[in-house]
């Protein structure tokens, strides 16, 4: 499959081969000089719609298009577009796609890029959708890591800071899992990776995840690993599931201790090759909730650089930094963040070349491959019932344009993964459309209705409101009868 005409909404939309191909093309552009590509995009128009602040992403996309000989049209203030008059994002994109060959979108709602890809007549590239994903930043991040460390396989990378709302972290974590890197998640106070991400990393990417003690990484909080308190700092360690993983860890000098329920290990220094730091995403939090207390958020200071085990690391940051990296680090060769921002040009040029087919297609032809989000499990598209659990999801913000689409994740408890924002909801009830009866979710496996024939409800009140009445599940066993009785009591 080629990238021609395809939208890039999630890092999942690019295979490892396609990512490597973009990197090879970026290498070639740097080698030959980026001016060598100056005629490839003549006559092409890129629309950049940036409804949240941006410096690097918008300007590097526009510079990349200019370097290819194409042009950009840009809207970077929602107040200056018809969105301010109440126009939907879906309509905005439908119109802009008539004026351009591709759209680059940044928007504050999770899943907005996907909605745009569904309505656009040209490919859409996600330049950050709320707290969800930022796949092209991931390309710059991986490219920098590959340049500095040659390979991603087995590379030990610490992702630090706002892991909950940092969209660059989300896309990068999935990509690192796919390239079989080892990741330490080192959150600022309360800013851990969301549970739905953790489950997906384990379920869809076969990653193995354990809670560990931060050990040497306590230094990022101004603490010593020997100090009792310092060593209480928690991290999460993610490894690709491969044989001999445990023996690898002990060989490399970490301390391993078996406890009854889980294995604890302490991170030692020599293994870590890269520290990727992010800023607290204050704009995505309830006002006043986010106080950056001293010693609770990971930071790179000149003291951290003095630690002998960090001699050969590289320090990355998607930027903008606030105070996570002290300016004293800038002079140090280990700081890779400005280089990383610079790679935005060859990487985004390479991506545009592939998506627009520059250099090998008729310049007038606009191609768009219809967008579908990847999912491993069964998909349901209920017309009514349960909503996405995430208030910032585009499916809640533009419900008349977004389709309700969920992947059924059938584990210990059934969950519905929203295919716009990835949040998972746990419905307690389901209703059968034909009979208009509703049942407790535990009965789904027994009744086995076809997925097209059911809707999910968060509560009985929601089911009743939708016109459903309580069903009697005659499951033919004593256990089911007692379950039925118990359900009756609950109500």
Residues at the site binding ligand NCD, with contacts judged by CB under 6 A: 56-57, 128, 134, 137, 167-168, 278-279, 318-319
Q: Which is nearer to ligand NCD, 57 or 120 (CB)?
A: 57
CB-nearest residue to ligand NCD: 318
Shortest distance (Å) from residue 320 CB to ligand NCD: 6
Q: Which is nearer to ligand NCD, 120 or 278 (CB)?
A: 278
Q: Are strands 263-266 and 379-380 parallel, antiparallel or unpaired?
A: unpaired
Shortest distance (Å) from residue 96 CB to ligand NCD: 21
In angstroms, the CA 202 to CA 269 distance is 25
Q: Which is nearer to ligand NCD, 134 or 180 (CB)?
A: 134
User: Minimal CA–CA distance to 108: which of 163, 60, 53?
Assistant: 53
Q: Which is nearer to ligand NCD, 184 or 276 (CB)?
A: 276
Q: Which is nearer to ligand NCD, 67 or 134 (CB)?
A: 134
Contact by Cβ (8 Å): 22, 15: no
Shortest distance (Å) from residue 191 CB to ligand NCD: 12
Q: Which is nearer to ligand NCD, 343 or 457 (CB)?
A: 343
Contact by Cβ (8 Å): 183, 235: no
- How far lies 436's CA from each of 185, 430, 432, 470, 476, in Å? 46, 10, 5, 9, 21
Query: DSSP 3-state assignment of 273?
Result: coil
Shortest distance (Å) from residue 27 CB to ligand NCD: 22
Q: Which is nearer to ligand NCD, 266 or 278 (CB)?
A: 278
Shortest distance (Å) from residue 315 CB to ligand NCD: 15
Contact by Cβ (8 Å): 147, 174: no
Shortest distance (Å) from residue 90 CB to ligand NCD: 23
247's CB contacts (< 8 A; 6+ apart) are none
Shortest distance (Å) from residue 129 CB to ligand NCD: 10
CA atoms within 13 A on the CB side of 169: 29
Q: Which is nearer to ligand NCD, 94 or 296 (CB)?
A: 296
**Which strands, in side-by-side order, build the sheet including 255-258?**
255-258, 263-266, 207-213, 234-240, 182-187, 156-161, 274-277, 314-316
User: Minimal CA–CA distance to 61: which of 337, 350, 319, 340?
Assistant: 350
Q: Which is nearer to ligand NCD, 56 or 208 (CB)?
A: 56
Shortest distance (Å) from residue 304 CB to ligand NCD: 20
Q: Which is nearer to ligand NCD, 83 or 280 (CB)?
A: 280
326: which 2 tokens? 């002290």
Contact by Cβ (8 Å): 124, 371: yes
366's CB contacts (< 8 A; 6+ apart) are 101, 121, 122
DSSP string, 369-431: PPP----SS-EE--SSBPPPS-TTBHHHHSTTTS---EEEEESSSEEEEETTT--EE--SEEE
Give Cα 20 distance to the centre of its chain. 19
Shortest distance (Å) from residue 118 CB to ligand NCD: 22
Shortest distance (Å) from residue 83 CB to ligand NCD: 19
In angstroms, the CA 138 to CA 142 distance is 6
Shortest distance (Å) from residue 222 CB to ligand NCD: 22
In angstroms, the CA 327 to CA 389 distance is 40
Pseudo-torsion of CA 93, 94, 97, 98, nearest 10°?
-140
Q: Which is nearer to ligand NCD, 127 or 183 (CB)?
A: 127
């Amino acid at each position: 499959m080629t990238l021609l005409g395809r939208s890039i909404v999630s890092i999942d939309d690019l295979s490892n081969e396609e990512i490597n191909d973009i990197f090879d093309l970026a290498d070639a552009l740097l080698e030959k000089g980026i001016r060598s590509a100056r005629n490839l995009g003549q006559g092409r128009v890129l629309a950049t719609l940036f409804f949240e602040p941006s410096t690097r992403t918008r300007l590097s996309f526009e510079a990349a298009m200019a370097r290819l000989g194409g042009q950009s049209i840009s809207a970077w203030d929602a107040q200056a577009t018809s969105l301010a008059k109440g126009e939907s994002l879906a309509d905005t994109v439908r119109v802009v796609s008539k004026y351009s060959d591709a759209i680059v979108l940044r928007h504050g709602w999770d899943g907005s890029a996907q909605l745009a890809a569904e309505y656009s007549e040209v490919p859409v590239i996600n330049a950050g959708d709320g707290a969800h994903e930022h796949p092209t930043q991931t390309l710059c991040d991986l490219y920098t890591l590959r340049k500095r460390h040659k390979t991603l396989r087995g590379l030990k990378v610490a992702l630090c800071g706002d892991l909950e709302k940092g969209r660059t972290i989300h896309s990068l974590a999935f990509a690192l899992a796919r390239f079989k890197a080892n990741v330490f998640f080192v959150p600022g106070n309360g800013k851990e990776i969301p549970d739905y991400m953790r489950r997906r990393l384990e379920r869809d990417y076969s990653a193995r995840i354990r809670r560990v003690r931060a050990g040497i990484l306590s230094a990022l909080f101004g603490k010593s690993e020997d100090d009792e308190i310092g060593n209480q700092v928690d991290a999460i360690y993610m490894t690709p599931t491969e044989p001999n993983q445990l023996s690898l860890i002990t060989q490399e000098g970490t301390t391993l201790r078996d406890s009854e329920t889980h294995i604890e290990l302490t991170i030692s220094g020599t293994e870590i090759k890269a520290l990727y730091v992010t800023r607290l995403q204050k704009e995505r939090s309830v006002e006043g909730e986010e106080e950056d207390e001293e010693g609770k958020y990971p930071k790179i200071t000149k003291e951290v650089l003095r630690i002998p085990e960090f001699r050969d690391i590289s320090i990355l940051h998607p930027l903008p930094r606030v105070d996570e990296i002290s300016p004293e680090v800038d002079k140090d060769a280990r700081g890779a963040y400005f280089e990383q921002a610079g790679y935005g040009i060859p990487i985004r040029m390479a991506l545009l070349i592939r998506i627009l087919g520059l250099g090998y297609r008729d310049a007038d032809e606009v191609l768009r491959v219809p967008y579908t989000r990847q999912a491993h499990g069964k998909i349901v598209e209920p017309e009514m019932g349960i909503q996405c659990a995430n208030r910032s999801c585009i499916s809640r913000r533009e419900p008349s344009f977004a389709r309700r689409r969920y992947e059924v994740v059938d584990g210990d408890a059934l969950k519905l993964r929203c295919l716009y924002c990835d949040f998972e909801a746990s419905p307690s009830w389901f209703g059968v459309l034909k009979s208009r009866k509703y049942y407790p979710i535990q009965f789904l496996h027994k009744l086995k209705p076809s997925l097209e024939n059911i809707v999910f409800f968060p509560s009985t009140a929601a089911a009743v409101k939708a016109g459903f009445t309580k069903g009697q599940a005659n499951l033919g066993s004593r256990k089911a009868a007692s379950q039925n009785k118990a359900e009756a009591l609950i109500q």
